[in-house]
Amino acid sequence: MKYLIQKRSKYIQKVKENNINEFFNALNDPNNNFFSTPIWKKIDQNPEFFQSIPTESFVENIVVLKNKNIRLLTSIINQRFMRISNAGQYYYNLKPIFDGFANGLEIKLQNITVDKLKLDILKEVVEALKKCSEHLENSRGGKPL
């Protein structure tokens, strides 16, 4: 029985890792319409997907994307969370995840050299993550925004 539990746990971990890789690959593909990809369907059906992404992995993968693709991340956040007036009632558990992503990205931005445009776009992502976190906090009780 213990063997089956370990095997199942390894399988689940492998699926999560594959989904994370698929997410960053889809973000990185300039010819891709992200919102029609299989990974978007997975995220749309399971927003808790973001919990499976380690903060360090998120930060390292985002800073190497092309500018256009970095902006796509802001669109994903807006599409999946910001447009829902009572998102906090359902996704409040993601607030610390988004806080961690924003903090990790802010720290990374202090320690890397990128061109001004990319820096501004990355700062927009930080702001989008913070706004999303704030939105989840404010809509937690079901108060309309």
In a domain, 2, yes or no: no
In a domain, 143, yes or no: no
Residues 6 or more apart whose Cβ sits within 8 Å of residue 140: 88, 89, 92
Identify which has the larger pLDDT, 139 or 5.
Answer: 139
Domain that holds residue 128: 11-138
In a domain, 29, yes or no: yes
Question: Does the pLDDT value for residue 135 go beyond 70?
Answer: yes
| Cα torsion 115, 68, 97, 139: sign | positive
Give me the number of domains the chain comprises. Answer: 1
In a domain, 4, yes or no: no
**Could you read off the pLDDT of 25-66 as tens digits, one per residue?**
888 887 778 888 888 888 888 878 899 899 999 999 999 999
In a domain, 1, yes or no: no
In a domain, 133, yes or no: yes
In a domain, 68, yes or no: yes
In a domain, 32, yes or no: yes
Identify which has the larger pLDDT, 102 or 143.
Answer: 102
